[in-house]
Structure 1
Amino acid sequence: MEDVVFMFPGVGVQNTGMGKSFYDNFKIVRETFEQASDILKRDIAQMCFMNSQKEKLFELANSQSALLTVCVAMHKVFVKETGIIPKYSMGHSLGEYSALCSAGAIEFSQALKLVEIRSEIITEVSKTMDGVMMWVINIDRQTIEEVCCEESKNENKVFISAFDSPSQFSISGDRNNVMKVAKQLEGKGALIYPLKMNGPFHSQLMYKATEKFKSELINYRFCEFKYPVISNMTGLPYDTSENIVDNLSLQLMKPIKWTSFIEFLENEGIERAIEIDPKNNLKYLMEKNTENIKTFSVENIADLSFVKTKSLNQSNEQNLELIGRCLGAIISTKNNNEDDDKYNKGATRCNMKSIA
């Protein structure tokens, strides 16, 4: 296990052609796609790779299952090719399912079914309201909290639905209310980007979805973690697999605490992150949060080779450092040999062997 974290993306990074280089070169990827297609009763490879399927790919149910399939397949290849086992794993919103699969806490077949149910429930609940979600960039946390709080006094509640970095957030709520808040924030220098999502996701307006999804989650059995996964809901690692039901259901109505993820990792001394993502979006977020964690993105097989080389080089550097410390200890060890001539001859032979 290495001092590294695996990162998986959420909906929004899906694109036609994602995972294609892995699919073309690795049997295990094709098998993963076939498994997903058999379970979901639709051709996931066709949806991911054909331009004619682009509109279908961006439908919520399809984008979630397709992205999960691509990330799980890429993760299988990455681990097989590099042998890297992380100290932690984490995912942004939907990406938490990929993270849980990577850690063995949820079987891929189960995750596909759960993601399918999840998308059906949030789509159904979202249709009962005119909700929306927007990115807010170039603003500080205190300002966005004050504006949202002021607007919510009139029961026109607008929620911060993601804390992505010290200057990037998302807000969710009723469309008209969110537009009012967005206009105020723009006046304070913020940049606003509407998301292609018709729902107030990761806000309290999704409480009915939380209740419905929890009633489905309790029917599943989960496994022990091979390594810890950080929860979107708490910003901290799961205690046990028994927390999965509560964490995944509450995730629907709680904000994503990405900045808390990064703070936790820094406190744990993590210095490397590997993003398994068809669009390297999380590397950008990491750079906005900290300079202390170097991120490597795995988007295609060329990236795989690069990360593998970097990992091996880091291992060699660590080995050399260890050897240096050992030699330092030898050099500083007092000579307790009664015969100085024999001791010096031994040291000379040792030095000659080292040079050779």
Structure 2
Amino acid sequence: MTGLYIHIPFCKSKCLYCNFYAVASKKLAQGFVEALLQEIETRSHQWKDPHLRTVYMGGGTPSLLLPGDIENILDFIKRYFILEPSCEITLEANPDDISMQNLESWSKAGINRLSIGIQSQNETILKFLGRHHTAEQALEAYAMARKAGFNNISVDLIYGIQGLNNEEWENALLKILSLEPEHFSCYALTLEEKTPYDFQVKKGKLSLPDEELVAQQYEILQEISSHKGYIQYEISNFCLPGYYSRHNTAYWQGIPYLGLGPSAHSYDGIKRWWNPSCIEEWKKLTTLDIGACPCEILTSINQYNEYIITSLRTSWGLSISHINKRFGEKFTRHTLQIANSLTSIYLKKIGTDRIAIKSQAYILADCILERFILMDDSKI
């Protein structure tokens, strides 16, 4: 049972901080859906497991597509793959694209989970980030989604932004969580290379937020989410009981996934391959074998490092028995040696087999993970 990711690369404009492949050109959209449908058919014959547990339409801005196009895409997926009865089908949507007509069309097409990019409740910050909606529009969009019958909604929020003080961040969290979304994701504004934010920082027009302030706002996030009954099941993700993101969780558990659309990545457990970050180049590959895509064969060390990085991001952590079975005694010995040196302060044991980062140490996760990472086999 695998997951399917569909990358829709279109945006009204590129956000300040975003490093995902996206274009703001209607001309490039011509023929996109037809090419995607072709890729769905082609890859369905080449992917070993036709059973899908999740479908995730991300971007870019999938909600910019016409509702009829979304329906066609999902119909094609159902034609060439086998969706389990409880398949989680997520659509990322911007508040300014949400209308009752669109919501009803998305629901009819099979979308059963919405991820709404609220990002902030501060008008100045929304403009700074390059968002097209207002704070009020975001709340109205959420209310419409509820009225349309969506009972699994996730929202995205950003903190650690210049101009966002702790009191305002706390008030924004309380306001959004009072809506009781089933799930929410919170990310600190990060400087990604070759983004508008990166260029402006390098030119001295913008500065990075204070690290201490970012840490304080992360602590506020953890405290309020816990008080409101949310489970922090991953460093940046929170949910009400039973509403974790099944699609993203599969990534963190190392389960194979298929990615379609320009720039999308795929993983079969041994190798990873990806589509070009160019619509016209991607179109040329939609009728060809997977082998035509650039790929990376993962060594045992690559696979071990990825398992460490992904599993320790989550509340359930890593499994010693899994490491021993998959990677062998040397990797197990290395893992236990590092874990034992960190357990009293930063790590905790779950039962007899699992080790996880303590929630209060998530802010130091990068430093903790670095201790486990292997550059070569000289350490084992």
Larger RCO (CA under 8 A, 6+ residues apart): 1
Q: Which has the larger radius of gyration?
A: 1
Normalised to the residue count of structure 2, the TM-score between the two structures is 0.29
Return the TM-score normalized by structure 1: 0.31
Larger % of strand: which? 2
